[in-house]
Structure 1
């Protein structure tokens, strides 16, 4: 990348904070979805030029991928924390409670970036739609692995299908996100999460 002396790369404004810029891009994608977020929307929120965006993050799809990684490490970090809970029921409870909290944060857009990001996608958005489908599938896989361990430990009944339980929870979590984006309150969604666990299988 061409630079001028010891200063910032050409096109990058003085004081450019890549972390903060990526945070703002994540929020734009979260609120508007991949296709709904124009380059103008993104660069205005990030406080940089298009040249700076391309130099620092690549094209729009690359930027979205980095924004999704930031989302996973930040707002969606509840998933990794939930997997460390000592029992399967506590894993499920922490997972759904985390989905409720993240989808209804007062300082963030409602819903989940991983669900809202490409609900409506034309041809240009298909790679991102597939990226998000793989991301959600990875979440199911991690949950299923944890519940398989719970079966082995006697924490879940031996005849239960860990993958089925994981998909059950992910379906509820995705539904929570969609409902939050539609205006459902945290209190309402918390009751939904509690209902989802009412018939949790006994060990």
Structure 2
């Protein structure tokens, strides 16, 4: 029999997975310590001994989310042969994940803490940094497309990356609002229809000598 007062042993990885799902579903401020204890099946001493604080647990849960759920974006940006294919596969793969009924809807890093009490600003800054890192990865893939001749030089890769990041994050919000997989994919159809217009570079007309007027006979 374990000594009296000893924290109950538990599977740390499984407990972290359960905490991740609670934060994913309810957000950072919407999740109480009681919610976490119930979901993880641990005692307060065990939780604090393993994770130190709610914020530390949340950060670790987000990192787990990025490792497990973030592979959709990482694989699309790495594996697809063209920039256009990478963006489309990224959007469609994430839309499928966002609408998966077996998981909380939407994206954890988008939905967990965009607004809240000033005391929780470090959590919001942490998530903002992750979202910007994702946008940077998208821009890097677009820049590779320019370098490889897949996209024309002069394309505004920063704005293009921000546009498709906005689409991606919007899909997350719409999924949380109850949009179906089919509805999300129709939005992606529209976003990809805009690709050609967004990646066309208008070249300035060549400036040369003005042609001499033709002298007409009197």
Normalised to the residue count of structure 2, the TM-score between the two structures is 0.85
* 1:10 paired to 2:36: no
Rounded to whole Å, the distance in 1 between the matches of 2:53 and 2:113 is 17
* 1:196 paired to 2:191: yes
SS in 2 for 1:34: coil
For residue 161 of structure 2, what is the aligned residue in structure 1? 166
Instruction: Give per-residue Cα distances to partners, 1:116-154, cap 9 Å, x unaligned.
Output: 100331123211111110000000111111111110111
Rounded to whole Å, the distance in 1 between the matches of 2:51 and 2:6 is 14
RMSD: 1.7
Gaps of 5+ in 2: 201-218
Instruction: Give per-residue Cα distances to partners, 1:20-46, cap 9 Å, x unaligned.
Output: 111111100011000000000011101
Given candidates 129, 132, 135, the residue that maps to 1:137 is 132
Normalised to the residue count of structure 1, the TM-score between the two structures is 0.91
Over 6 Å off, 4+ runs: none
* 1:38 paired to 2:50: no
1:1-203 correspondence to structure 2 within 5 Å: 10-11=6-7, 13-14=8-9, 16-84=10-78, 85-201=80-196
- Is the contact made by 1:27 and 1:109 (CA closer than 8 Å) also made in structure 2? yes
Aligned length: 195
Post-superposition offset of 1:200: 1.3
Gaps of 5+ in 1: none
- Is the contact made by 1:57 and 1:63 (CA closer than 8 Å) also made in structure 2? yes
Q: Which has the larger radius of gyration?
A: 2
